[in-house]
Amino acid sequence: ASRSHLIQATLFPGDGIGPEIAESVKQVFNAAEVPIEWEEHYVGDKVDPRTGSFLTWESLESVRRNGVGLKGPMATPVGKGHRSLNLTLRKELGLYSNVRPCYSLPGYKTRYDDVNLVTIRENTEGEYSGLEHQVVRGVVESLKVITRHASLRVAEYAFHYAKAHGRQRVSAIHKANIMRKTDGLFLKCCREVAEKYPEIQYEEVIIDNCMMMLVKNPTLFDVLVMPNLYGDIISDLCAGLIGGLGLTPSCNIGEGGIALAEAVHGSAPDIAGKNLANPTALLLSAVMMLRHLELYDKGDRIQNAILKTIAEGKYRTGDLGGTSTTTEFTKAICDNL
């Protein structure tokens, strides 16, 4: 393809194993002839006063301009006087929902077969409003903020996602029997949106019951939508159902249709630089980015090659019980394309 046919996308390789697994994505994308040109940005080594964070203004501008990006794990630098990297990204790019599909990988045995669900987490408010204070000594307060605006926005996205991906049902997860006002408003907004999508079934499940159902029989669920804290917990539980954080992709959806895909795991300092990391989570996140760009053929082809490689079992990284290096596993995926 000539340069004019290439789609620009931002790439944050990130820290630790980030550059190694980002290299894997670049190789697989080259082999699959994906028409994407990466704009690479690293986390800076000093605070950029324009962002109040180690993330540079230029890197955020790059995501805003391109509308799509892929993010490796970032180790939040210690010390005072700066905003956390993930918080900066979330606030500056208005990343309001986090989408995490979890499905059983054929050939990789866990306690469960046939898991196939998607969690959609509200990402901007709820218990993460950052409003905590001491009332008097020995008594502290944390404000859980739920707004109609943010609840409608994430509910809209959940139903839109369900429809676009041929899913049957959306379950709103809540504790409105206790949190009457906050979770009550969240549910009210979900109900309003549900009425606009009669073809999608809608149900409401109380979080404690939901957790029990998930560990007893995760196949009961399809798309789950929920406020921030519940989403944080449930999405990791769901990743655990299918084999852990090394396998699960995610994508953050932001204002104006921005999509920033990211692996859910951290920078794995214990194995960084040793060619041992499993690139699957970042690769599958990159596939989510391709689907967001409606490059479905390329996305399917790459996803199938990853799943085939894992199912064959000949090349697997250490976290999946194999002995392959990141490079060998990546080459096997390219050969399976």
Q: How many CA atoms lie within 13 A of 57 on its CB side?
A: 5
| Site size for ligand NAD (CB under 6 A) | 20
Cα Dmax for the chain: 66
Q: Does 278 bind ligand NAD (CB under 6 A)?
A: yes
Minimum distance from CB of 61 to ligand NAD (Å)? Answer: 20
Name which of 73 and 126 has its Cβ closer to ligand NAD. 73
Distances (CA, A) of 191 to 52, 201, 211, 262: 39, 11, 22, 30
Among 73, 101, 126, 249, binds ligand NAD (CB under 6 A): 73
Q: Does 288 bind ligand NAD (CB under 6 A)?
A: no
Indicate if the alpha-carbon torsion angle 17, 130, 101, 111 is positive or negative: positive
Minimum distance from CB of 106 to ligand NAD (Å)? Answer: 20
Q: Does 89 bind ligand NAD (CB under 6 A)?
A: no
Question: SS3 for 151?
Answer: helix
d(CA 313, CA 322): 8
Name which of 256 and 321 has its Cβ closer to ligand NAD. 321
> Which one-letter amino acid corresponds to residue 232?
D
Distances (CA, A) of 195 to 147, 154, 200: 19, 15, 9
Among 51, 267, 285, 336, binds ligand NAD (CB under 6 A): 267
Minimum distance from CB of 199 to ligand NAD (Å)? Answer: 35
Decide: 9 and 289 in contact? Cβ < 8 Å.
yes
Q: Does 233 bind ligand NAD (CB under 6 A)?
A: no
Question: SS3 for 308?
Answer: helix
Q: Does 270 bind ligand NAD (CB under 6 A)?
A: yes
45 φ, ψ to 5°? -100, 0
Q: Does 75 bind ligand NAD (CB under 6 A)?
A: yes
Site string for ligand NAD, 302-321 (x = CB under 6 A): -----------------x--
Q: Does 271 bind ligand NAD (CB under 6 A)?
A: yes
Name which of 317 and 336 has its Cβ closer to ligand NAD. 317
Contact set with ligand NAD (CB under 6 A): 17, 73-76, 86, 245-246, 262, 265-271, 277-278, 281, 319
